[in-house]
Amino acid sequence: MIRVQREDFDVGAELTKLTAGRHDVGGVVSFVGLVRDMAGGAKIGAMTLEHYPGMTEKQLAAIEEEARRRWPLAAALIIHRYGRLEPGDRIVLVATASSHRQAAFDACQFLIDWLKTKAPFWKLEDTDQGAQWVAGEAGDDQAAQRWVEKPVAVMAGPGRRRETRPSAGLPKRKKNKRG
């Protein structure tokens, strides 16, 4: 389930709803992201999160779908806020439920890592040094990179091999007129 919203959320209530009536769930893993009061040595007074409505939900749904493809999840939840947020405010809740804990842990970490690098959100921090747009961090890219599936060689015909690309977050290759 995906929600992009301005209002805050109640973590306990959301986790209760996630597993209500689900007796096949053996573990739930959750991550709550909060607004910090410092970044890069600058004091943060507030952060404004912007997004592209429609595109954001579509990309988050694709990320969730990829997690469900990779792990046996009973349920998954991504709630991401937008608008003006202050230090200590909740930004995001990512939760996964599975019959086995390792799948829930791995899927939750995957969702967090890919959300940080693939979801179309933009951050403007109001700092003691002025307003600053936040660029992605190399550490986030490195964390997400470990989840990229390696291409698998398959036979494409007698004696011919071709590389297939993983589906995760990559556009389908378009055929040109030459084939």
User: pLDDT tens for residues 18-41?
Assistant: 999 999 999 999 999 999 998 878
pLDDT of residue 38: 87
Identify the pLDDT of residue 42.
Answer: 83
Residue type, 77: L
Q: Is residue 87 in a domain?
A: yes
* pLDDT over threshold 60, residue 156: no
pLDDT-based confidence at residue 143 (cuts at 50, 70, 90): low
The runs of H, that is alpha helices, within 22-173 are: 55-70, 101-118, 138-145
Does any domain span residue 157?
Answer: yes
Asked whether the predicted pLDDT for residue 117 surpasses 60, the reply is: yes
Q: Judge contact between 119 and 63, C-beta under 8 A.
A: yes
Domain that holds residue 116: 2-35+51-122+135-164
Please state, rounded to an integer, the average pLDDT across all residues of the chain: 84
What share of the chain in percent tops pLDDT 90? Answer: 64
Helix segments in the chain, DSSP class H? 11-19, 55-70, 101-118, 138-145
Tell me the whole-structure pTM to 2 decimals. 0.78
Residue 109 belongs to a domain? yes
Residue 11 in any domain: the answer is: yes
CATH of residue 61's domain is 3.90.1170.40
| Residue 154, domain member (yes or no) | yes
- Residue 147 counted as domain residue: yes
Instruction: Evaluate whether residue 41 is within a structural domain.
Output: no
Confidence of residue 176 (pLDDT cuts 50, 70, 90): very low
pLDDT score of 119: 86
Q: Which contacts qualify for 33-40: CB closer than 8 Å, 24 or more apart?
A: 33/90, 33/91, 33/92, 33/93, 33/112, 34/88, 34/89, 34/90, 34/91, 35/85, 35/86, 35/87, 35/88, 35/89, 35/91, 36/87, 37/87, 37/88, 39/125, 39/127, 39/134
Residues linked to residue 49 through DSSP beta bridges, in sequence order: 83, 123
What is the count of structural domains for the chain? 1
Give per-residue pLDDT as tens, 69-81.
999 999 999 999 9
Looking at the domain assignment, is residue 128 inside a domain?
A: no
The average pLDDT across 109-127 equals 90
